[in-house]
Amino acid sequence: MLPALFAASPKAKTATASELWEMSLDGGRRLTWEHSFQSEAEVKPNRSFWNKLVDVVAGAPDYRFLVRPYSVTTDSRGRVIVTDPGASGVHVFDFALHKYKFIERREKSKDAMLTPQCVAVDAQDNIYVTDSDAGKIFVFEPGGKYVRAIGSLKGGEGYFKRPTGIAVDSAEQRIYVTDTLRDKVFILDMQGNILKTVGGTGEAEGEFNLPTELRLRGTNLYVVDAMNFRVQVFDLAGKFEYAIGKIGDATGAMFRPKAVSVDSEGDVYVVDALWGAVQVFNREGQLLYYFGTKGTHAGEFQLPSGLFIDHDDKVFVVDSFNRRVQVFQFVARKSVGSPVREASR
């Protein structure tokens, strides 16, 4: 028996803080839209009278905006870290402390960061960024200071052909990175030495066709196998376990999967860029529900790309063409044994 499928739609005309958007699910579970953000100004909303007076004389501050955001993660401090290939840098939003940082390395003769793609953090909140054009992984301290580049060869070029997804396992001292053009996942130690590769070109289990994002959750590694239209799941040693998805443009199929994450109940969220939605599957690959459609309002997307779910079940979706990140809150079921039967909004 197929699960009931429901999509939520916005109840207001513009994506503002006053919008109401909620998706209710059986067992007390629900998904609520909280807010969206797209600029440095939103981190510092309450400027003092004197700051505003200076603005009148000197002009308003030149705040940075998201240009073409791609990937998102959060760190232990609750900061939201967003890569932006359109701005050739990384935005760090600290809403709790009302601080903002922009990380870049464009004007460097060696190891310049050209096209930051995906981002992850380690247990110390160091920031790891893949660069799809430079062919390297850039590492920064939590404050944004450059540490090193992994995969930088003597001639200045990068070892990886097109590194995209990245995950860091601090407990096991491992770095996982997808090389999209090689159709492989590389497993590195923390010094950047290659310990193992997973995959190869193909359609069989454990093979890839242009893998992109990946996500590490518990003892599982989730890899978006983009042009095989699925998400493959491995153990931490790279052994294939199972796959979710199939080709198609109908509900439950994947047409342009871009990113993946997992909530506290173990359900798998997959962003489909062309469809403009996030689909939620259980471990057996059954579609439980989806949310989103094409548009500019709350809960609507245009070419969404990145996705991250933190330990509090806060869901961050990079709404790339709308130049923003939308934030949702998932509330798990009250009774773990309650089945999901239907949704309402």
Pairing type for strands 136-140 and 146-150 reads antiparallel
How much is the pLDDT for 308? Answer: 98
How much is the pLDDT for 155? Answer: 78
pLDDT band at 16 (very low <50, low <70, confident <90, very high): low
| Cα Rg of the chain (Å, integer) | 20
How much is the pLDDT for 256? Answer: 92
Least confident window among 25-29, 70-74, 230-234: 25-29
Least confident window among 164-168, 309-313, 336-340: 336-340
pLDDT band at 334 (very low <50, low <70, confident <90, very high): low
pLDDT at residue 60 greater than cutoff 50: yes
Tell me which residue of 290, 325, 319 sits closest to 305, measured CA to CA: 319
In 144-229, DSSP assigns E strands to: 146-150, 163-169, 174-179, 184-189, 194-199, 211-217, 220-225
Contact 318, 261 (CB under 8 A): no
DSSP class of 227: G
- For the stretch 248-263, pLDDT in tens is 777 778 999 999 999 9
Q: Which two tokens stand for residue 82?
A: 């967003």
How much is the pLDDT for 36? Answer: 96
pLDDT band at 48 (very low <50, low <70, confident <90, very high): low
Q: What is the mean pLDDT of residues 214-231?
A: 96
Torsions phi, psi for 36 (to 5 deg): -130, 160
How much is the pLDDT for 49? Answer: 53
How much is the pLDDT for 150? Answer: 97
How much is the pLDDT for 21? Answer: 87
User: 266 vs 157, which has greater pLDDT?
Assistant: 266
Whole-angstrom CA distances from 43 to 47, 59, 215 are 10, 19, 27
Rounded to an integer, what is the distance from CA 15 to the centroid of its chain? 20
User: Does domain 1-38+257-345 correspond to CATH entry 2.40.10.500?
Assistant: yes
Beta bridge partners of 321: none
* Averaged confidence pLDDT in the chain: 88
CA distance linking residue 223 with residue 214, whole number of Å: 4
CA distance linking residue 328 with residue 22, whole number of Å: 9
pLDDT band at 72 (very low <50, low <70, confident <90, very high): very high
Tell me the percentage of the chain whose pLDDT exceeds 90: 76
Least confident window among 1-15, 52-66, 157-171, 186-200: 1-15
Q: What is the largest CA-CA distance in the chain?
A: 67
User: 263 vs 344, which has greater pLDDT?
Assistant: 263
In one letter, which amino acid is 6? F
Q: Specify the 3-state DSSP secondary structure of 180.
A: helix
How much is the pLDDT for 76? Answer: 97
pLDDT at residue 9 greater than cutoff 50: no
Tell me which residue of 88, 151, 166, 65 sits closest to 120, measured CA to CA: 166
How much is the pLDDT for 10? Answer: 39
Q: Which two tokens stand for residue 325?
A: 């990140």
How much is the pLDDT for 340? Answer: 36
- 221-224 long-range contacts (CB < 8 A, ≥24 apart) are 221/167, 221/176, 221/185, 222/260, 222/261, 222/262, 222/268, 223/165, 223/178, 223/185, 223/260, 224/165, 224/257, 224/258, 224/259, 224/260, 224/270
Least confident window among 219-233, 235-249, 305-319: 235-249
pLDDT band at 344 (very low <50, low <70, confident <90, very high): very low
pLDDT at residue 302 greater than cutoff 70: yes
pTM of the full structure: 0.88
CA distance linking residue 216 with residue 202, whole number of Å: 23
Query: How does 200-226 read in b/e, with b if 16+ C-beta sit within 10 Å?
Result: eeeeeebbbbbbbbbbbbeebbbbbbb
Q: What is the mean pLDDT of residues 212-216?
A: 96
CA distance linking residue 259 with residue 278, whole number of Å: 9
pLDDT band at 28 (very low <50, low <70, confident <90, very high): confident
